[in-house]
Every structure is written in structure tokens, then in C-alpha cells.
Structure 1
Amino acid sequence: MKYNELTPEEERVIIYKGTEAPYTGEYINNKRSGIYVCRRCNAPLYNSSDKFDSHCGWPSFDDEIEGAVKRIPDADGQRTEIICNNCGAHLGHVFLNEGFTTKNTRHCVNSISLKFIQEENKMIKKAYFASGCFWGTEYYFMKAQGVKHTAVGFMGGHVDNPTYQQVCQKNTGHLETTEVEYDSSKTSYEDMVKLFFETHDFTQTDGQGPDIGPQYLSCIFYSNDEEKEIAEEYVKKLEDKGFKVATMLKSVSQFWKAEDYHQQYYEHKGTKPYCHIYKKIF
């Protein structure tokens, strides 16, 4: 059987039964609907409806797709390992009788052992905002009503697949950007724009707070004429209130996701942003 090619870090966990560091995995805070499959062989393993937040630092599920996961005694003699029943890939461990859900089962799974396939939903839209350090921008959007998922990365530059270190050198043209996936049946692009303006200093021209540099400038990346018109409407409302708005409006370009350790940064740290503060304006 031919399996997917793995990176050295994926091999360390999936083949050699390692563990990714807590609160670093891609899917800890994933709230989107879909299925999780084995990263090694693509076999379906878990439904998103069985995922829950156990605050343990790894994705948790209280059930698996029938026949997808095999339990075997761990080498330490104390825990029960779970592996993909199709290819034997190491997933993590299973724990019972902890009281998290009515099923009293917690599959503690490494994100790196999984791939997520999102269920198609025409009500899910994406929006892109830059307002200084993307840690702080994401902090407020990921907590907003109707937001299903957020990711931080880079947009607007001229270098493909830039690293954080490259962008920090201030010569790639990228802005630190947050990608927001929201359910348009529960919130709106207008609500997203209002939150954007209410969580940073949109009058600052050289960065955001103490973070100075071209990668920290304020910008709304619009995907269509409707989004552009809404952004322009709120810039006008702010100007009518006497603000001198420095926010740029640019057309969406390629979004390059940042390294995993940047994702949901403040959620994992358990702290709050130092340069973003919510202030109601509208």
C-alpha cells in the first residue's frame, strides 16, 4: 500500500510514536464542520461533531468513526495507545471516565497525525484583515460571534511562501494578516469590519502600538466590490466622526499561512494582547 510522504516531524510522531508539544497543533481550536482523516493514509478517523474542548493542549474526540481506530496497550503499561486501523499510524492515547462528556471517552490526538477535510458550506465566507501584530488581531476575531475559524499569515507581498523571519526583515512587502472564516447566516462582513476598526488604532501610520514597520500597517483586503464598498462606507463614517484614517484598502492576494507556533498565540499563552484593545466606536 502506498502512503502519503511525511515530513521528518510527521514521521517522528506518526511512525516513531512521538508527541507534538501541547497547544501547538493546527486543529486544537478548529470549530469547522467536516471529517478528520489519517495524515499517512487518508482513512477517515473522526467526525467534527465528536470533537470537544478538553483544555488538554491537543484535539480531543469522544468517539471515532466505527472501525477506524485501534486501541493497543502502551509500552509504558499505564496508558492505551490509539492508532489508525488502516495503516497503523500513531494518533495519540485514549482516556476513559474523566467526565468531560456523557461518553466518558477522550481520544487525545496529535494534530500532526490528522488532516481535516472541511464540509462544503456556502454560508461560510472568508475575510482578511491586517491591524498590526497578527497575534492581537486574531485574538479578537477568534472570539467573535459567528466566526468558525481563524489563521494568521502574510498577504500583499512579492515573495512566495515567506517565513516570519523574512517578513520581519521588512523587505518582502507583506503585511501580518488574519484570515477569518465566518458563518454569514450568523454574522456579516459589516460586523467583521466594525470589529476590525474597534480593536486597533486605525489612525497610526507607522505600525501598531510599539510594533513599528511596514508589516504592521492597517489594511482591509477586500475580495469583491461589495466588501470594498462596505469598507469604504466605514472609513467614511470614521472620517465623519473626525478621525484621520490610515487604513489601506487593497484587493485580496495570496494568503501565506504563518508557522504553527503563531496560530491562536494568545489562546495558547493564556494571556491578552499588549497592542490591541477593544473600544466601541459604532
Structure 2
Amino acid sequence: MPFNKLTDEEIRVIEKKGTERPFSGKYYDFYSEGIYKCKKCDTKLYSSKSKFNSGCGWPSFDDDLGTVKRVPDADGRRVEIVCANCGAHLGHVFEGEGFTSKNTRHCVNSISVNFDDEDKSNKEQAVCYFAAGCFWGVEYHFEHLGGVYSAVSGYMGGDTLQPSYEDVCTGRTGHLEVVQVEYDKKKVSFEELAKLFFEIHDFTQENGQGPDIGSQYLSAIFYKDEEQKNISLELLDELENRGFKVATTLREATTFYEAEEYHQDYYDKHHKVPYCHTYKKIF
């Protein structure tokens, strides 16, 4: 069967049995209800019901769905855990630590798994795109907002196919640094997201954002449909009427290219807060 394409960092962990740094994975401090699947082959591995906080720095589970295989580790001391279907490296399993009644801890690399929401019947998922300078800070603010499933750094608006960070930094591809926001419309509206967008950056700056100067750092909203477009126009008019000289442009969404792994969850991985994106209430 065909497997999912992996990034270089995913290959390092999943195929070459590496380990991501503690406290850096996106699912370490994450407790939504759902199913964790193998990043390589989509096999269901763990239920969120078996997840617990061990304080070890990696996602911890005290049981699996019968699809995780145990293999003696090459170091002769530990027991490796792999996907029983494709052999993808997940992490290691430990017993006798007393964290839960099952006395078992599957220590899993976040990068080895994907998460699927278990109950989508009560949710209405949508996506939108914002550009507000360096995507690290923009991603941080949206990812920590209630009702948001995920915020992913990437590139949009240019002509080059599959642009790299180095390509975009030249300013010649036409792409902006953009954050893709997936959210539950029943918990947070596009209008609320757009207002937050304006409140975390200087939407009057014309040549970039803060110290980051260049076309890739311009302020823009990329709308997916007429509803997002009309709400954005209303907010732009409101800001103009209040005396702001708005530099933000409104553009139709095009192909979104996810940025390299080292750009994702940057501030959370480094245990920092954005230095150039701070919240300032406007609305």
C-alpha cells in the first residue's frame, strides 16, 4: 500500500528512529477528544481516552488500540513501539511507573502521529488565511485561541510551485508568509478571528511588519468565500472610518504551501512568546 509522504524531520524520527526534543511536540499538552493515527500509514493507534500527563515531555498513553507492536530496542534496555502495520517508529513503552492503574506508559513522539477529531457531528469546521508579518507570531496567537483546531505556517499568493523558505525570502516568488487557521464555526466566528488578526499586528505598516521588511511580510487577508470577503470589507471600512490608514490588502485564497517543519509551533517549541506580535485591543 502507498504511504504518506514524509518531511525530512519526519523521516529522521519515523524511519531512522530518532527522537523529537522533549516538550516540543504539538500533542504534548493537547487533550482534545479523538484518535491518534500513524503519520506514515494512517493506522489508528491510540484513543484520547488513554492519554495522560506524565510530565515527561512527550505524549503519554497507558493503552493502545491493538495496532502497536513492541520491539526490543537496540540499546538492550528499552522496548521500542512501532506501528504494527508499517513499522513506523513511535517511541518507547515503559511499565511499573505507577502513573495510571494500567501501570503502562507509551512515550510517543508527536511527529509520529496525526490527530483526528472523534466527534465532528457537533462541529462545523472551516478554514481561513491571514498574513501579518513573520508567521511564527501569527500562528502562536491563533493556535492559543479557543475554537481553533490548528494554526499552520506556510506560504500563499505567489507563482512559484512548492516554494521553500529560502525562495520566499528572496521576495521574488510573490508569496506572503501566511497562517492557515482551521476552526470550529460553532465556537468562534470568522469575524472574531479577523478582529484578532488586526489586533496582533500593525495593519498600517506598508513595507512589512516591525523589523521584518519585505513583500513576504505584508499584511493581507486571503478569503475563501463571499462571507469571509464581505466581513473583511466591513472591518476594513470600520477601521478606515475610525481614522486608521490601513495597509492590509484583501485577496482571494490560492494554493497554500505548508512551511518547513522547523517553522511550525516555533514559539511553543522554544518556550517563548512572540517578540513582534503583541495583542492590543482595537474593537
TM-score (ref. length: structure 2)? 0.86
- In structure 2, C-alpha distance between the alignment counterparts of 1:149 and 1:62, rounded to whole Å: 25
SS at match of 2:17: coil
Q: Conserved in 2, the CA contact under 8 Å of 1:129 and 1:177? A: yes
Deviation of residue 141 (structure 1)? 0.6
Q: Which moved more, 1:115-124 or 1:161-170?
A: 115-124
- In structure 1, C-alpha distance between the alignment counterparts of 2:265 and 2:9, rounded to whole Å: 21
2:17 matched to 1:17? yes
Q: Conserved in 2, the CA contact under 8 Å of 1:24 and 1:260? A: no
Q: Which moved more, 1:170-179 or 1:89-98?
A: 89-98
Q: What are the superposed Cα offsets for residues 2-59 of structure 1, whole Å, 9 maximum, x if unpaired?
A: 5637767655544543324456656557777653333454432123454456565544
- In structure 2, C-alpha distance between the alignment counterparts of 1:29 and 1:256, rounded to whole Å: 26
In the alignment, what sits opposite 1:218? 219
Q: 1:179 to 1:23 in 2, by over 3 A?
A: farther
Q: Conserved in 1, the CA contact under 8 Å of 2:25 and 2:269? A: no
- In structure 2, C-alpha distance between the alignment counterparts of 1:53 and 1:178, rounded to whole Å: 29
Q: Which moved more, 1:14-23 or 1:26-35?
A: 26-35
- In structure 2, C-alpha distance between the alignment counterparts of 1:254 and 1:53, rounded to whole Å: 37
2:73 matched to 1:74? yes
Deviation of residue 99 (structure 1)? 6.8
SS at match of 1:159: coil
Q: What are the superposed Cα offsets for residues 62-116 of structure 1, whole Å, 9 maximum, x if unpaired?
A: 4311x21123443434433212233443211123466766755432223443355
Q: 1:13 to 1:195 in 2, by over 3 A?
A: closer
What value does the CA root-mean-square deviation take over the aligned residues? 2.8
- In structure 1, C-alpha distance between the alignment counterparts of 2:98 and 2:243, rounded to whole Å: 54
- In structure 1, C-alpha distance between the alignment counterparts of 2:239 and 2:217, rounded to whole Å: 21
Q: What are the superposed Cα offsets for residues 236-257 of structure 1, whole Å, 9 maximum, x if unpaired?
A: 1111211111100001111100
2:256 matched to 1:255? yes
Q: 1:211 to 1:11 in 2, by over 3 A?
A: closer
Q: Conserved in 1, the CA contact under 8 Å of 2:24 and 2:268? A: no
Q: Conserved in 2, the CA contact under 8 Å of 1:32 and 1:149? A: no
In the alignment, what sits opposite 1:89? 88
Q: Conserved in 2, the CA contact under 8 Å of 1:222 and 1:251? A: yes
Q: Which moved more, 1:52-61 or 1:38-47?
A: 52-61
Q: Conserved in 1, the CA contact under 8 Å of 2:4 and 2:39? A: no
In the alignment, what sits opposite 1:178? 179
SS at match of 1:193: helix
In the alignment, what sits opposite 1:37? 37
Structure 1: 5+ residue stretches without partners: none
Q: Conserved in 2, the CA contact under 8 Å of 1:31 and 1:149? A: no
Q: What are the superposed Cα offsets for residues 96-138 of structure 1, whole Å, 9 maximum, x if unpaired?
A: 4667667554322234433555668461111110000000111
Q: Which moved more, 1:120-129 or 1:8-17?
A: 8-17
SS at match of 1:165: helix
Letter in 2 for 1:86: N
Structure 2: 5+ residue stretches without partners: none
Q: Conserved in 2, the CA contact under 8 Å of 1:24 and 1:261? A: no
Letter in 2 for 1:92: G
Q: 1:236 to 1:104 in 2, by over 3 A?
A: farther
- In structure 1, C-alpha distance between the alignment counterparts of 2:101 and 2:158, rounded to whole Å: 49
Letter in 2 for 1:260: E
After superposition, residues 238-277 of structure 1 pair within 5 angstroms as 238-277=239-278
Q: Conserved in 2, the CA contact under 8 Å of 1:38 and 1:45? A: yes
- In structure 2, C-alpha distance between the alignment counterparts of 1:48 and 1:276, rounded to whole Å: 32
Q: 1:138 to 1:97 in 2, by over 3 A?
A: farther
2:228 matched to 1:230? no
- In structure 2, C-alpha distance between the alignment counterparts of 1:15 and 1:226, rounded to whole Å: 43
Q: Conserved in 1, the CA contact under 8 Å of 2:4 and 2:41? A: no
In the alignment, what sits opposite 1:109? 108
Q: Conserved in 2, the CA contact under 8 Å of 1:151 and 1:179? A: yes
Q: Which moved more, 1:151-160 or 1:237-246?
A: 237-246
Q: Conserved in 2, the CA contact under 8 Å of 1:3 and 1:40? A: no
Letter in 2 for 1:18: G
Sequence identity (%): 57
Q: 1:208 to 1:227 in 2, by over 3 A?
A: same
TM-score (ref. length: structure 1)? 0.86
